[in-house]
């Protein structure tokens, strides 16, 4: 397919090597890995291999710490519910205001059920205050769940330090590392992280396969009970093709981590510099000095993100926005709001997320294409006149009906 | 991705009448920054005939907000102010071959800008419909106050009922939780408990003691009695279906597109309820087809 894909935080292309690795598991390798015959045995061995590949990428001490699930959301849910069930006397959860809905909506539900959820706030750069975190840790807290990297801005949280603090306080620590795995080096055996979620489709494996890392010795209750798959920790006949694919994707990610850090980052920086140099009244959101190497999130003031996306799409460029209208929610993304980005800019936030499959030519094309789009939309905007915003835009244009 | 019609795309990619009209003598500013939409409509009105000679828009908003603004200016150019005031948000959506339900509020904004501009021209202060409460349902622009009043007035218990009475929640359904919260509050005041699992009650059997046929005849007679009133305004009403306490009617002629259609319906409802001596609901026939669709879809 033609087009420039800069929406890799939403999902990624399945790597060609991954596709070829998984294909046999749709056809000749159809056996049930639990079966006592050659059909099952071959598949069982493939799953073992995949488990080791995931283990290697995560730097986990044991391959039995890897539990295959159906997606990142399932891993997140399993982790939090398990922590609550093994410690029924602990009724509090600590998380942040900028988590993915997989965590936030679960927490909202748990609040309805009587749990107390502490949401750590972030500052204008999307950073949390370790002091307030430290003060919340107590023996009433069942689990801390904090994302490793934010899906919208790429901002990284100091999860390793946070896990240390949680461990010292005797509190379980989970991290949603869906956006981090494959983009950053991770070494779980050197950390105090008890549980970690990842999702295949964010690292060039297909959709519908994920992993929950569960440190050996951490007490656990399964989400799905049934057969003895995944050592009874996640029942349901394994998605063998997906798991094999994820294993292969992890193996590839091991080899390309360096590339993420150098080439992908250089492309991202080139893109960002190119855009900022040409377009006025825009700024990078999040914490630019401390973020994923592939993510660039820029807020363009006085225009709206969905309109930008539609115009980009016409040129074959795929990106995403934190604007309300693209989601139908009518409110700008909770991440933009949490960082206190003014509404005039929050609606115009554009996320460009790269992968190792992007080229310099593509990036240059975007650098060339985006400025006229921004100019075109600003020309339509009531907040804009000529080369800049109307002086004191909020006063000059004060629409009725708030 | 939104399923935008070709018309929407056309008006977005090549907006008509973009920018402020020079020497405009009417301006309407509406919008909601928090929703990410804002619109300034400028008009040049001929003072003698009150005809809109030129219309221009400036919009901060998504694709359909821009397309709706563009469509609005095309629709109203050449109309008199009175004619333009009859343009409904549905007309704007129709002009664009429809908008996704979640985007209907974009067309509402267009209509409101127009009302604000006309008020500005006439030296009046425009009061929007939603000053009182925050919008709960953005698809159909229904605010909390209206929902709350409707729940009280009709003793509603479920989100589905609220949607049927107010349209709130009948679009993208993202406000269902908000509606539940209001139900919760109002029911608590009454000392009742909101039961999210309650289904909208079985259609109540008519309580007038009439047979179905008698009842329908009575309804026809009652409608006949108010026809002269409607005809005086060049409109009419037609009975379409009677389903338990729900009576579906079709508004005809001037009544159909009339801004007052809602008020007219509730007038008819009161008249019928009094005449039948039972609690009934008068609904537009569009509601009937919508319900058929939703029952078909859920079957
Ligand atoms: C940070 C984060 N957590 C969780 C998820 C959910 O993953 P999945 O789509 O596999 O359920 C996503 C992906 O959208 C994500 O970005």
Q: How far apart are CA A70 and CA A200, in angstroms?
A: 9
**How many Å is the Cα radius of gyration of chain A?**
22
Q: How far apart are CA A214 and CA A197, in angstroms?
A: 9
Q: Is residue B74 a contact partner of residue B16, using CB atoms and an 8 Å limit?
A: yes
Which among B214, B293, B178, B234 is positioned nearest to A329, based on CA atoms? B178
B138-154 mean pLDDT: 80
Same domain, A120 and A243: yes
Q: The tokens of A391 are what?
A: 């002086």
B6-121 to CATH, choices 3.90.1010.10, 3.30.160.110, 3.30.1300.10, 3.90.79.10? 3.90.1010.10
Q: How far is A217 from chain B (nearest CA, A)?
A: 40
Position B174 scores a pLDDT of 76
Domain carrying residue A283: 257-385
Same domain, A73 and A119: yes
Inter-chain contact B62–A325, Cβ cutoff 8 Å? Answer: yes
Position B132 scores a pLDDT of 46
Inter-chain contact B66–A303, Cβ cutoff 8 Å? Answer: no
Inter-chain contact A400–B29, Cβ cutoff 8 Å? Answer: yes
Same domain, A246 and A270: no
Same domain, A232 and A282: no
Question: Could you name the CATH architecture of B212-298?
Answer: 2-Layer Sandwich (3.30)
Q: How far apart are CA A150 and CA A117, in angstroms?
A: 19
Q: How far apart are CA A190 and CA A211, in angstroms?
A: 19
**Residues on A contacting B at a C-beta cutoff of 8 Å:** 302-307, 310-311, 314, 323-326, 328-332, 343-344, 347, 379-383, 397-402
Q: Could you tell me the CATH number of the domain that includes residue A176?
A: 3.40.640.10
CA A265 to ligand 1 center in whole angstroms: 22
Mean pLDDT of chain A: 94
Q: How far apart are CA B105 and CA A328, in angstroms?
A: 11
Alpha helices in A279-315 (DSSP H): 305-314
CA B267 to ligand 1 center in whole angstroms: 52
CA angle, corner A107, sides to A103 and A111, nearest 5? 175
With a cut of 90, say whether residue B254 has pLDDT above it.
Answer: no
- Residue B259 CA to chain centroid, in angstroms? 9
**What total number of domains does chain A contain?**
2
Position B273 scores a pLDDT of 80
* Predicted confidence (pLDDT) per residue in B63-76, tens digit: 989 999 999 999 99
Same domain, A105 and A30: yes
User: In the listed set A208, A224, A253, which residue is the last one of a domain according to the structure?
Assistant: A253
- Write the ipTM: 0.84
β-pair type (A282-284, A210-214): unpaired
Please state which of the ranges B13-22, B175-184, B207-216 shows the lowest mean pLDDT. Answer: B207-216
User: At A261, is the pLDDT very low, low, confident or very high (cuts 50, 70, 90)?
Assistant: very high
Q: Is residue A329 a contact partner of residue A112, using CB atoms and an 8 Å limit?
A: no
* Predicted confidence (pLDDT) per residue in B270-287, tens digit: 788 878 877 788 888 877
Domain ranges of chain B: 6-121, 135-189, 212-298
Same domain, A287 and A371: yes
Position B87 scores a pLDDT of 87
Q: How far apart are CA A147 and CA A138, in angstroms?
A: 20
Residue of higher predicted confidence among B220 and A331? B220
Residue with tokens 């046999």: A24
Same domain, A163 and A111: yes
Inter-chain contact B103–A306, Cβ cutoff 8 Å? Answer: no
Mean pLDDT of chain B: 82
User: At B194, is the pLDDT very low, low, confident or very high (cuts 50, 70, 90)?
Assistant: confident
* Predicted confidence (pLDDT) per residue in A177-225, tens digit: 999 999 999 999 999 999 999 999 999 999 999 999 999 999 999 999 9
Please state which of the ranges A217-221, A259-263, B31-35 shows the lowest mean pLDDT. Answer: B31-35
- Count chain A–chain B contacts defined by CB atoms under 8 A: 110
Same domain, A208 and A78: yes
Same domain, A95 and A224: yes
Candidates B33, B58, B105, B180: best to mutate against A (most CBs of A within 10 A) is: B33
Which among A209, A186, A147, A232 is positioned nearest to A55, based on CA atoms? A186
Count other Cβ atoms within 10 Å, centred on residue A119: 15
Which among B121, B73, B37 is positioned nearest to A401, based on CA atoms? B37
Count other Cβ atoms within 10 Å, centred on residue A307: 31
**CATH no. for B135-189:** 1.10.10.1100
Position B175 scores a pLDDT of 85
Position B202 scores a pLDDT of 46
Q: How far apart are CA B218 and CA B213, in angstroms?
A: 9
Position A332 scores a pLDDT of 75
Q: How far apart are CA B60 and CA A381, in angstroms?
A: 5
Q: Is B258 a catalytic residue?
A: no
Residue of higher predicted confidence among A390 and A300? A300
Residue of B nearest to A109 (CA): B177
β-pair type (A295-300, B135-137): unpaired
C-alpha dihedral sign at A123, A172, A190, A232: negative
């Amino acid at each position: 397919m033609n087009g420039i894909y800069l929406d890799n935080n939403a999902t990624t292309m399945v790597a060609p090597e991954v596709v070829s690795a998984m294909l046999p598991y749709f056809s000749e390798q159809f056996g049930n890995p639990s079966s006592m015959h050659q059909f099952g045995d071959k598949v069982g061995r493939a799953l073992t291999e995949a488990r080791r590949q995931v283990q290697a990428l995560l730097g986990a001490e044991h391959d039995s710490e890897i539990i295959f699930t159906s997606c990142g959301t399932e891993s997140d849910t399993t982790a939090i519910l398990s922590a609550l069930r093994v410690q029924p006397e602990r009724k509090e959860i600590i998380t942040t205001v900028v988590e993915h809905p997989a965590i936030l909506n679960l927490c909202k539900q748990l609040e309805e059920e009587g749990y107390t959820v502490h949401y750590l706030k972030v500052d204008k750069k999307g950073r949390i205050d370790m002091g307030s975190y430290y003060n919340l840790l107590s023996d009433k807290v069942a689990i801390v769940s904090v994302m490793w990297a934010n899906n919208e801005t790429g901002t990284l949280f100091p999860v390793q330090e946070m896990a240390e603090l949680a461990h010292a306080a005797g509190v379980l620590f989970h991290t949603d590392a869906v956006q981090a795995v494959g983009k950053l080096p991770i070494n779980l055996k050197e950390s105090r992280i008890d549980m970690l979620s990842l999702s295949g489709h964010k690292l060039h494996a297909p959709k519908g396969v994920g992993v929950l890392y569960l440190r050996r010795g951490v007490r656990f209750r399964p989400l799905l009970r049934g057969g003895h798959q995944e050592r009874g920790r996640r029942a349901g006949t394994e998605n063998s093709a997906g798991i094999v694919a994820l294993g292969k994707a992890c193996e590839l990610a091991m080899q390309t981590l360096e590339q993420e850090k150098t080439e992908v980052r250089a492309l991202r920086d080139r893109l960002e510099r190119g855009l900022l140099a040409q377009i006025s009244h825009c700024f990078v959101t999040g914490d630019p000095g401390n973020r994923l190497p592939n993510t660039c999130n820029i807020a363009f003031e006085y225009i709206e993100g969905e309109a930008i996306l539609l115009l980009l799409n016409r040129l074959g460029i795929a990106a995403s926005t934190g604007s309300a209208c693209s989601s139908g929610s009518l409110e700008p993304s909770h991440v933009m709001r949490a960082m206190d980005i003014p509404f005039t800019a929050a609606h115009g936030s554009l996320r460009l997320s790269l992968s190792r499959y992007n080229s310099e030519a593509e990036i240059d094309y975007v650098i060339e294409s985006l400025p006229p789009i921004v100019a075109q939309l600003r020309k339509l905007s009531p907040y804009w006149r000529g080369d800049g915003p109307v002086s004191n835009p909020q006063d000059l244009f004060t629409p009725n009906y708030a | 991705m939104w399923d935008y019609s070709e018309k929407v795309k056309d008006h977005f990619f090549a907006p008509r009448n973009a920018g402020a009209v020079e020497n405009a003598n009417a301006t309407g500013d509406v919008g909601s920054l928090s929703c990410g939409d804002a619109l300034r409509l400028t008009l040049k009105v001929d003072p003698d005939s009150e005809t809109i000679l030129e219309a221009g828009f400036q919009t901060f908003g998504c694709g359909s907000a821009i397309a709706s603004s563009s469509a609005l200016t095309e629709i109203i150019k050449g109309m008199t102010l009175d004619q333009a005031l009859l343009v409904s948000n549905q007309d704007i959506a129709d002009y664009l071959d429809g908008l996704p339900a979640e985007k209907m509020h974009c067309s509402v904004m267009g209509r409101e800008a127009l009302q604000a501009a006309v008020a500005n021209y006439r030296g009046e202060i425009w009061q929007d419909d939603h000053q009182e409460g925050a919008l709960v349902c953005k698809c159909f622009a229904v605010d909390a106050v209206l929902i709350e009043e409707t729940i009280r007035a009709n003793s509603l218990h479920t989100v589905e009922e609220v949607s049927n009475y107010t349209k709130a929640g009948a679009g993208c359904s993202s406000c269902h939780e908000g509606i539940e919260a209001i139900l919760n509050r109002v029911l608590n005041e009454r000392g009742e408990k909101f039961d999210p699992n309650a289904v909208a009650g079985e259609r109540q059997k008519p309580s007038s003691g009439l047979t179905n046929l008698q009842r329908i005849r009575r309804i026809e007679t009652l409608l006949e009695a108010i026809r002269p009133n409607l005809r005086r305004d060049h409109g009419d009403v037609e009975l379409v279906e009677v389903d338990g306490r729900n009576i579906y009617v079709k508004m005809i002629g001037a009544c159909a597109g009339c801004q007052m259609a809602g008020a007219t319906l509730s007038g008819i409802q009161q008249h019928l309820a009094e005449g039948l001596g039972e609690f009934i609901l008068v609904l537009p026939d569009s509601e009937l087809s919508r319900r058929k669709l939703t029952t078909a879809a859920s079957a």
